[in-house]
Amino acid sequence: MISFFILGIHSDVLDYSLNDTSTNSCSSPVVEAKTYEQEAATFQIGCQVTSGSKLITGASEILTLLRVLGEGYRLACLYRSQDALDTYLKLPQKHYNTGWVLSQVCHG
């Protein structure tokens, strides 16, 4: 159920897209009766069920990537070009070779 608050008026709208199995391309039905521990341990993302530890690992990797990108950008804004370049060089090759990072390195 989704609740909307518009100009102080509260209205509840059912979101049928979450419960409608006719438009769901997943072949397995969604089980509604789960304990809290089971709910915390697994998550359904699209048609894949993913464990909580995989989500935490993925989120940690993204945050680490964003931390390096942010630090490099911060250093570039402080006109510390060599430090920014050294920071960007810590990125994995596939992230270093993106247009944004390469433009920061070339313009830094």
Q: Which two tokens stand for residue 55?
A: 């989500």
Better-scored residue on pLDDT, 51 or 103: 103
Q: What is the mean pLDDT of residues 23-40?
A: 50
pLDDT at 4 over 70: no
How far, CA to CA in Å, does 41 sit from each of 26, 44, 60, 85? 20, 11, 17, 40
Lowest-confidence region among 14-28, 40-54, 88-102: 14-28
Nearest to 37 by CA among 52, 55, 49, 47: 52
Going from the N-terminus, what domains does the chain have, and what CATH number goes with each?
2-107 (1.25.40.10)
Q: How confident is the model at residue 3 (pLDDT cuts 50, 70, 90)?
A: very low
pTM: 0.53
